[in-house]
Structure 1
Amino acid sequence: MAINPSEFHKLNVVDSCAIDNIFSSSLLYVAAQSAGCHFCCTSFVYYECLDKPRTTYTPESIELQNIIRKAIEEGKIKNYNLDIEDLQEVSILQKRKNLGKGELTSIAFAKKTHQAFLTDEIKARNLAVEVIPPKLVQTTPHLLGWLVFISFLSDTDLEPIINDHKKYKRPLAQYFTEMYYRALDYRSKTYLNIEKENDTK
C-alpha cells in the first residue's frame, strides 16, 4: 500500500505499538498536536501499554510507560471502553486474522467511529484495509512524512526524532528517514505543479 505523505487524517485510533512510537519522541508528538492531530485508544490498548505484565523491564521501557501514562492522564490520549457490539465485531475479526486484542479492538473502534486506524504492525494493517477504507489506515512514519510535507517538522528535526526513537529501542528509524525523503519529493513536485499552473495563466 503506497503511502501519500501529502494526505493524513487527523483523528486516529492508535494501537499499543503506535502509541509507543509516537511518544518515543516528544518533538514528533508536539508537532502532531500542533497540526491538529488527535489520538485515542481502547481500554485493551491501555492495558497492553501500561498494565500487562512483561517478561523484561528496562529503564527505557519504564520511562516510556510513564510518558504515555502522563499523556493519558492529561487527556492527550482519550481512552474508551468498548460495548457489546464492538466486542462482537472483535470476535468476527479475530477469526480472520490472529492478532492481539489491542489491534483488533482498535480496528473495530476505528470502523465504528469513522476515524483512522494508526498502527505500525503489518498484520494489523493488512486486516484493517479489508474492513475500513485503506486511506484510513495510517502509520507513524506516515504521520512524520505528513508533518514534514506541511512544514510542521523542519529539516533539522529528523535527527533528534530518530535519536529519541532509538533511545527507547523503537524500530522505525529507517522508515522515518525513507518517509522524510518521500515527503520532500512530494512537496517539491507540488510546488513545481503550482509554478506550472501559474505560468499557464
Structure 2
Amino acid sequence: MNIDITQFQKINVVDTCVIDNLLSSTTLYRAARSSNCSFCYTKFVEYEMLYKTRKNLDEKSKKLQQKLIDETKANRFECHNLSIDDLQEIEILERRKRLGGGELSSIAFAKKINQSFMTDDSKARKLGISILGSKRVQTTPHLIGWLFYIQELTDSDLPMVISEHQEYNRPLSNYFEEAYHESLRIKNMNNNVSLR
C-alpha cells in the first residue's frame, strides 16, 4: 500500500463515492465516529447524491441516500455552500481532467478550510494530491487501515464491514482487506522492534 495507515486526518471533506462507501457499512461508520472523525460535503455533492438523475438508482442506492439525509439532519454530516470565487480557482479548473462538480467542489472546499479531502476516485485523488499535497488526501481503505491500526476495529469486525459493504454493491472489499493486512503488518513490525 502507498498510504501510511498509522496517521489519519480526522476532519474530511468527502465526495459522493466516499459517502456511499462510508455509509454502506454501519460497523465502519460507527468506528469512524467513535474515533472522532467528522465528515462534511458540498452542495455539489449533495446534488450528485440526492437530486441528480442516475441511470441505476436501485433500492440500495435509495437507502444510502436516506442514510445521508438522516445523518445530515442529526448533524453528524455537514453540508456547505461554496462561493463563486471558490469555484473559479484557476488552478483547479485548469487541471480539471474530466472530474465532476462534486469532486472539484470538494477539493476547492478542502483547500479553502485547510482540511483533508477524502475520495475513492483515482482521478480525483491525483488532482487532490497535486493541489493539497499527499498528506491531505485520504481514502476509505486508508480510514479502515487506520481504524484497525488504532484497534477501533478488531479482527472480528472485518467480515462484517466487508459483508455490509458488499450488501450495498460497493466495490472496495479487496482494498479493505489489503488495508487490514497492512495494519497487521505494521503492528507486527512495531512489536518486533519493541522486543529488541
TM bracket, shorter-chain basis: over 0.9
Identity rate, percent: 46
Who is 1:94 aligned against?
A: 93
Structure 2: runs of 5 or more not aligned: none
User: Normalising by structure 1, what TM-score?
Assistant: 0.93
Consecutive unaligned residues in structure 1, runs of 5 or more: 197-201
- The structural deviation recorded for 1:85 is 2.0
Q: Which runs of 4+ in 1 moved over 6 A?
A: none
Task: Provide the C-alpha distance between the structure 1 equivalents of 2:79 and 2:190, rounded to a whole number of angstroms.
Answer: 37
Q: How does 1:160-171 map to 2 (within 5 A)?
A: 160-171=160-171
What is residue 67 of structure 1 aligned with on the other side? Answer: 67
Residue 182 of structure 1 is matched in structure 2 by 182
Matches within 5 A, 1:186-197: 186-196=186-196
Question: In terms of Rg, which structure is larger?
Answer: 1
Match of 2:41 in 1: 41
* 1:125 aligns to 2:125 (yes or no): yes
Q: Structure 2 CA distance, aligned partners of 1:94 and 1:85?
A: 12
Per-residue deviation at 1:146?
Answer: 0.1
| Normalised TM-score (structure 2) | 0.96
The offset of 1:73, in angstroms, is 1.2
1:56 aligns with 2:48: no
The offset of 1:64, in angstroms, is: 1.3
Report the alpha carbon displacement of residue 192 of structure 1 after superposing the two structures with TM.
2.3
CA RMSD of aligned residues (A): 1.2
What residue identity is the alignment partner of 2:44? Answer: F
Task: Report the secondary structure of 2:88's partner residue.
Answer: helix
How many residues end up aligned between the 2 structures? 195
